[in-house]
Amino acid sequence: MTPNSHFISRVSNNASFSGSQERAAELNAQAAEDALVSRIPDLDDASPEEIAAERLPREAARQHEREEAIRLRVVEEEAALEALAAEAQASIPKPESQGDPLPKVGKGRQRVRRWVEIGKSKKTPRLLLQIWQSDYSIIGFVITMATFTLMKDTGYGPIGVLFFLVAMAEIDAILSIFVVRLSFHQNKHGFYRTEDFERDWLRYRMLLSMTKAALLFVVATSCGASATIACFVMWFFTTTLRLRYIILRWSMDDHYPDLQRWSVFAILSEAGIQPKLRNFNILAILGVLIGFGIAFLF
């Protein structure tokens, strides 16, 4: 016999036992009534008021006995149900929990797999996963927020320089994606001319300049003038731009003529140093060394 069938049979037996108790209570009430009637000598000659006076206590006694029997039956059934439920719960075999780490590892893998399935079923986690696989912008965002918090809490110059470096490169990377995809989309439909691209590039540079000014202001108010100068030196030596290419994981060209418009190559080109990839990398590393050197020394 299974625990469920045993539980049902026990409940039915308790119900039949409670019903017999109720029947016995009714019989006791009827016997009490008969005894009370036998004590009355004669009601034929009694008045209606006397009959009513004799009948009311008997009805009240019978009603009280019925209610008491019902209450006892409910209490007994609840107690029986609780006892049987506890017995059924105790009869269920519990899993053995010994010091074996393998079940915990299995549960951990199942939990991770469940999280991955939930992430795939939702749109935002799926998009974040695609961004994670395409570039390093999520890592750059996390580093930006962490360095910003440290900079505001400590006011330490090198932390402010690191914040400017990563934040400038991160914002530049996101803006570059927008400009490139917009130009590709418009050129795909055949109405994107060279003048249109130059106007979009100019808008991109304007927005980037405003972003640079805002970040320099944040660093100046948190870390002071020396950290602000160090940030400007790194930007001028194309360090932030080189980090943008690393975040986007874009393939590098051999020549970057646009650097002659705003960076240190505008001065070096007069000496015959062209914005080649090798020179680009050297100056970016030199910008990191000079920038952090200023932040640490001053």
pLDDT (tens digit, 9 = 90+) per residue, 62-81? 666 777 777 777 777 777 77
d(CA 69, CA 71): 5
Examine the fold and report which residue of 63, 91, 119 is the final residue of a domain before the chain moves on. Answer: 91
d(CA 288, CA 259): 17
Q: Is residue 102 part of a domain?
A: no
Contact call for residues 167 and 215 (beta carbons, < 8 A): yes
Judgement on whether residues 82 and 142 belong to the same structural domain of the protein: no
Measuring CA to CA, how many Å separate 219 from each of 62, 145, 200, 288, 292? 90, 14, 29, 16, 14
Q: Is residue 100 part of a domain?
A: no
Judgement on whether residues 146 and 222 belong to the same structural domain of the protein: yes
Q: Is residue 159 part of a domain?
A: yes
Judgement on whether residues 146 and 286 belong to the same structural domain of the protein: yes
Q: Is residue 103 part of a domain?
A: no
pLDDT (tens digit, 9 = 90+) per residue, 24-38? 556 665 655 555 445
> What is the domain range of residue 15?
3-91
Contact call for residues 126 and 132 (beta carbons, < 8 A): no
Cβ neighbourhood burial of 76 (10 Å; 0-12, 13-18, 19+): middle
Judgement on whether residues 185 and 239 belong to the same structural domain of the protein: yes
Q: Is residue 107 part of a domain?
A: no
Judgement on whether residues 245 and 183 belong to the same structural domain of the protein: yes
Question: Quick one: which H or E segment has residue 251?
Answer: none
Average pLDDT, the chain: 76
Sequence-ordered list of residues with C-beta below 8 angstroms from that of 33, at least 6 positions apart, any chain: 58, 61, 62
Q: What is the mean pLDDT of residues 7-29?
A: 54
How many domains does the chain divide into? 2
Judgement on whether residues 136 and 49 belong to the same structural domain of the protein: no
What confidence score (pLDDT) does residue 43 get?
Answer: 46
Q: Is residue 257 part of a domain?
A: yes
Q: Is residue 240 part of a domain?
A: yes
Q: Is residue 225 part of a domain?
A: yes
Please work out, in degrees rounded to the nearest 5, the angle formed at the alpha carbon of residue 283 by the alpha carbons of 277 and 285: 105
Sorting pLDDT into bands at 50, 70 and 90, what band is 11?
very low
